[in-house]
Structure 1
């Protein structure tokens, strides 16, 4: 018999509210199945099991708020997937080891039998119950087809108090954004208090990379085209192979440098706030693989359907404010990581090329790193390696 506990989805997470179970007692599950959704300051997150078995007992009911580590359910070990659980989606590794018992972690989204699970916020689901409306029969108009409070009201007919529902939706969105802002502020305060930052920045000629990218995209159909952010991610991952001190965590009073590169990508949300899901093994994947995963992460982050495991294990973070017209970003390290890289806008600058002035497309790259794990000399080498790699985009 094993215990399914509420995992920690970040260093700043203390508790969460269980919103929905995807299984019932007696259902069989397999390692990697998503069996519940919880609400944290980061939004609604699906959490998984790390071993196969049969659900014996559910101990926490929807809308209950519990601390990290709370036993949510018990699972009788053994058995194959039948019941509600689906096989792991293609592209997700089956050989990922379960974490130690004292390090609970989160997991993958899995659809229920017969197709993808209906996307619906807890408030909309609760309102549907109040109005005796089946959410599965509602056509969602929210991001990614999510069912909103307004969709529930429309499906219930003219008798539903739509004005009140709309007001509730607006208030809930404001509350969620406020909660996320508080969580971000807490992480920033901790970072400034505990981590001795040093900052470096450099200007990189992105013309070769962008020219190569434009040539590649000209030969591709629209769905397969790449964005330049993928080249930046690959360059960061490549530079970490040469300067590994930036990749890992500071824990137990020591820097723990990692070989695998899992990049946290900062994604701004339309409703306000920020999420930093993880692109795993960036150093091992080609640009096409990363583009598919990156697009999927952005879409699901903004529609509120990230997997819990996608908010964990990032060994470094990359953030960009280029779309907002910012020249240089001076980011703050997300603890317990060792570094964060920022990219600004692409701008045109006159630069000497073969002793002749040319207009080049340039981007500023900045580094904030933990002085306990590296120094300015190593940081400078790291930025220089990013620059060098971007001059040879065909090799990324």
Structure 2
């Protein structure tokens, strides 16, 4: 089969409807799907048949949530979410459909949600960086991030295992697709922006992790390092553990154990073996006056396990506690309007499940609620 870009639609508005009851949420492939809106309400996003779902807290700090909105968009293969310092949420989807003649139409689109729980802008097609390439399988999960100027960066892995990038300019116009330098063996990727405003891209290959970064905000995304570490594709979550220093949480491809790989090549085992293909969620917060990293990961029995450890000092030990029922896909975590840790997951029945940090010392979680 041959891949072709999806044709640009002259009229492609975003449709907002109540979520179809027969369309449960799909298991998330990324842990970045729970975000704090600029009005202080958390928003959770998930793919479903024919589009995307969006749940929103009814008030800052919860605990009640709205029924999900449904943003119609057919043929979604993958989606990811990015948010800039202005609080706007960017939904980026990768679409794939097989035509009657056997050709595969593929392309990326994005839409922006300016307010929590509200309709998004019309879908904007981003095109495809790898037209007319022979390829019969699925494409990798794309990545996206927003810099401190509010510009969106969209990144897919093309069929040759190379990373392509298309970025929005400051005037709102889009640049063309560019291919980042690399060895072409990348199997999954993620992107994020540091607090200083520098865009970072991390791609996992067989036995290596490739890192690209901006040396200054708004600059070119350039090769930064190649780390010889065996992390499983699709399992890596980055976290800024110090200014412009990135720690990678993922599954060791050889041992199956969750590890953290820190700048300088230091790798620390975290004492738990996630379910195959599971991506952890990680967030930094202050617990009892200490800078801590909270990690949530789906175990081999499907239940989530949560642990907290000193940021940058994971070797001091992570004490895991299993919680809730079996879930599907990657969990997500964020801090709510009051600074409390919130953990979200999609149940095996396709419903949103949420738990929140109790207002007491340490990291104790409330009972899970089904939204």
Higher strand share: 2
TM-score, length basis structure 1? 0.28
Higher helix share: 1
TM-score, length basis structure 2? 0.29
